[in-house]
Structure 1
């Protein structure tokens, strides 16, 4: 391959990976617009995010098999085409559940774009320049989810939310055409092992039913609804059967045997918690900014931009520290402390908090991710034999996606409960004998009367306006409670690092992406 073709192929596969990763976060700032346009609640609209994550959880473990069975070139180009077509259909969706369906299919297509892209980049660099390949791919991959909200905000406000999906179409077509002419099969072919379809089915059934219970349980009054009871039973049975089956089958889709490594098990738990923090924070922050603080989508996206820029610097620093022999445990501890501080500060904001305060706080979230992304994977594989490294890394990355999808469901349910609780508490203080309430109502009534509204109508509108204020305040308080809950999870998980203080140094040259 000529140098020009080689550079073009590197650019193409990194662009495809960035496109896939942008779609993990680009929808977050458009959720309010989507729910209004499609006539759905915010809780239901969050399925647009979780369906994509669930699809990734299902497809990532079998990417290696599909690459070998179908041929890397065919599978990769096919995945790009599926991702592109589903992007078009997402933009065309006329109701929420059609959108959720195509987001799921889009996630199946996107599952290959990251791992195969990474393999191609490493293959195109000689062994002595693998460090350059790691840095190039790492920075490219990290840019995707960090610029997603900013890009999504600008597109949603200046054009319309379907265009956050339409922008994938020209990129996808260009990537597919480029790979058709440039991408070849790997120099060393491996024999395709039999695929664990039973394991895949049990994982898909277990995750999807559990996700549904977490998402819909609060709305459906939990076990007062028959399908919630059945889905709970199915989830327990399917996930239990999945674990037993994967420990028995010769070629499992997820090799749970590697969890015999204490280091990997603890790293997987920490990665799960990181996934919760990563996904829920980028879900909650745009909702608060737009629905409660009155920010536009583009302003919301720009809140995350300074942190994104600093995070790229932080990512390079964490990589350099690992190369210089700094223990992964120490870097992870710093990342966890950044996330704890971020959640604590977010739990202190008010309806009058300026954008600068939130932007400053989000920097600690971004730095937390920068100090966790690579070190957590390095820790996960540090005690594994070379033959188990791919399975260990894949399992660890899957835990991040599971943490993200479950985290959003958890926060939706928890914030719903806390909103009702805070509303009840606030209403107990709104009485005729409360001088502040009386003064506020009289002010509203006087203002409405100034605009020609009769006394009775003015009083009715004043009560409605006061109730809206209670709803807004109770909603904010519930979200602040959610940040505190996430921060508490990080605090509880942090001591686990004490059990892996003597972890071995990471395997040289192994850099696993944010998936």
Structure 2
């Protein structure tokens, strides 16, 4: 592989900015697609004639596929070249985006979202690698800052863009808008990035490990997505999937620990700082993303919000995160990273407790308030925690540690989406039964009848009221569980040793 210190001089200074913008835009597109479909799930479900729960497969399938390809990125760029792999990934992402928008059924949409994830997974780490090769050391800080801004802007704009498009045009266009971005990035990337192409070499690939990884993750995600509709372990199919996932996972661990060229280097978990750091990362990301999934669905279904308004409420967190992010590097090295992470994660937990006090009569700005306040903690969680995890491993293990960290983070998003919806659905049923037991329908029905309603109308009003309040109580219950998970994550951080100073986090992706 060519030396990045030398390859930077092969790009004209006048082209560096354009190359950096192309790479940042590509990363933005991939991150955007992780959240752009969240607020569009009700539109997709209504159009395809499926339940909202089934509509969330559009989210989880993308995240799982993306997680699977992340460990493969290192082998892919060595085998085919960094620039070629980047262009191929963007082209594949654009192709599957078109197919997603043309999908007439849920099955085709999920398959195409998997294709999107498989092509989009390598784009994030590859763009970081290319930024390091494009810019000289004295400019990399600003270049990585631009890249980091797109990572924060993606989740912020995703719900807003997705909601606006779904309300004013059609959900199909949340995928079609990727096409012009892909064409621009391919044409510009092919011209600008050619000088920093890397040498290729044929390396062995852990085919059995890759097969085991796909197998146990697939069984686990199918169990989580189908379980809530099939009475969980009361269904033989769910039991079978659970057993297969457990067996596949155990065999995968044994194989990876004994393989000379593992697809996932599990030996990195011997470092205490990395282990507890990524556990905290997974728990925090899972609990955080659960709210991004539940809030839009709750606001659009019983609360009557448009997708645009629901997306705006969801997006406030990332907007304030952008304003706070510049202050984080100034504190790095001066303050123990564990203090910053633990305080930020506990702050997120308090915001979850705040959201657990919501009522069905809440107004827009009362919904937005905890989202706005929560955003100020996001940067103080992500960047310092990366320094803890990557600072705990050996320098030659940094790339593998960063890949494994991103894999677990993406998997946490997929798993938490399914679990949060399951918890929310179960809590709705329990709350509905409890409300029905305490309600005195005869007295209420008599009052409504005296007010001029017919018998059927009064029954429908009572049913709607019970359903609305049951959903609201279930939302509160889910947020309380999320708060508990966040408080646990804040405590787990302290099981890691103090991060060493001057950690290079450029390999994090």
Q: Normalized against structure 2, the TM-score is what?
A: 0.94
Structure 2 residue 486 is the aligned partner of structure 1 residue 486: no
Residues in 2 aligned to 1:270 and 1:432: alpha-carbon distance in whole angstroms? 47
RMSD over aligned Cα atoms: 1.7
Whole-angstrom CA distance in 1 between matches of 2:307 and 2:441? 39
Aligned pair partner of 2:495 in 496, 499, 504? 499
Aligned to 2:400: 391
32, 37, 42: which is aligned to 1:32? Answer: 42
Structure 2: tracts of 5 or more residues without a match: 1-10
Q: How much has 1:190 moved relative to structure 2?
A: 6.4
Instruction: Choose the corresponding residue for 2:330, options 295, 315, 320.
Output: 320
1:300 paired residue number = 310
Instruction: Name the SS of the counterpart of 1:24 in structure 2.
Output: helix
Within the alignment, does 1:218 sit opposite 2:228 as a pair?
A: yes
Structure 2 counterparts to residues 466-481 of structure 1, below 5 A: 466-481=462-477
2:439 is equivalent to residue 439 of structure 1: no
Counterpart contact for 1:423–1:471, Cα < 8 Å: yes
Cα distance, 1:177 vs structure 2: 1.3
Match of 1:455 in 2: none
Return 169-178 or 5-14, whichever deviates more.
5-14
1:511 to partner: Cα distance: 5.9
- CA displacement at 1:309 relative to structure 2: 2.5
What is aligned with 2:361? 352
Aligned partner of residue 376 in structure 2, secondary structure: helix
270, 275, 279: which one aligns with 1:269? 279
- For 1:173 and 1:199, the matched residues in 2 are separated by 34
Deviations along 1:107-163, one digit per CA (max 9) or x if unpaired, are 111112111111111211111222222212111222111211111111111111111
Q: Secondary structure at the match of 1:79?
A: helix
Gap change, CA 1:365 and 1:400, over 3 Å in 2: farther
Cross-structure match for 1:451: none
- Alpha carbons of structure 1 residues 166 and 188: separation in structure 2 relative to 1, 3 Å: closer
Change (3 A) 1:300 1:67: same
Residue ranges of structure 1 left out of the alignment (5+ in a row): 449-457
Given that 1:258 and 1:388 are in contact with CA atoms closer than 8 Å, whether structure 2 keeps it comes out as yes
1:163 to 166, 173, 177: 173
CA contact (8 A) 1:194 1:251 kept: yes
Q: Write the deviation string for residues 211-237 of structure 1: whole angstroms up to 9, x where unpaired.
A: 111221131122332221221111011
Report the equivalent of 1:114.
124
Deviation of the 1:91 alpha carbon: 0.8
**8 Å Cα contact 1:206/1:238 also seen in 2:** yes
Once the two structures are superposed, what CA deviation does each residue of 1:368-417 show, in whole Å capped at 9, x if it has no partner?
A: 32222211211101121100111111111111111111111111111111
Taking the aligned partners of 2:501 and 2:25, their CA distance within structure 1 comes to: 31
Kindly indicate whether the alpha-carbon contact (under 8 Å) linking 1:196 and 1:253 is maintained by their aligned counterparts in 2. yes
Instruction: After TM superposition, give the deviation of residue 474 of structure 1 in Å.
Output: 0.8
Corresponding residue SS for 1:371: helix
Matched residue, 2:4: none
Candidates 93, 104, 113, aligned match of 1:103: 113
* Pairing 1:8-27 to 2, within 5 Å after superposition: 8-27=18-37
**Residue 252 (structure 1) shift:** 0.8
Matched, 1:123 2:140: no
- State the Cα deviation string for residues 55-86 of structure 1 (Å, max 9, x = none): 11100110111111112222111111110011
SS in 2 for 1:28: coil
CA distance in 1 between counterparts of 2:384 and 2:193 reads 31
Contact 2:82–2:198 (CA under 8 A) maintained in structure 1: no
Q: 1:365 matched to which residue of 2?
A: 374
Secondary structure of 2:75's partner?
helix
Deviation string for 1:164-201 (max 9, x for gaps)? 11100111111111122222264664644311111111
Map 1:198-347 → 2, pairs under 5 A = 198-322=208-332, 324-347=333-356
Cα deviation, 1:321-346, whole Å, max 9, x if unaligned, reads: 21x43222111112212210121111
Report if aligned partners of 1:278, 1:369 keep a CA contact under 8 Å in 2: no
Q: Which residue of 1 aligns with 2:93?
A: 83
Task: State how far apart, in whole Å, the 2-side matches of 1:320 and 1:244 are.
Answer: 43
Say if 1:275 and 1:399, in contact at 8 Å, map to a contact too. Answer: no
Q: Is the 8 A contact 2:38 2:296 kept in 1?
A: yes
Distance 2:484 2:448 in 1: 37
Structure 2 partner of 1:452: none
Secondary structure of the corresponding residue to residue 294 of structure 1: coil
| Structure 2 residue matching 1:295: 3-state secondary structure | coil
Whether the 8 Å CA contact 2:163–2:309 is kept in 1: the answer is yes
Partner of 1:69: 79
Residues 90 and 165, structure 1, Cα contact 8 Å, conserved in 2: yes
* Alpha-carbon distance, 1:512 to partner: 2.4
Distance 1:461 1:62, change over 3 A: same
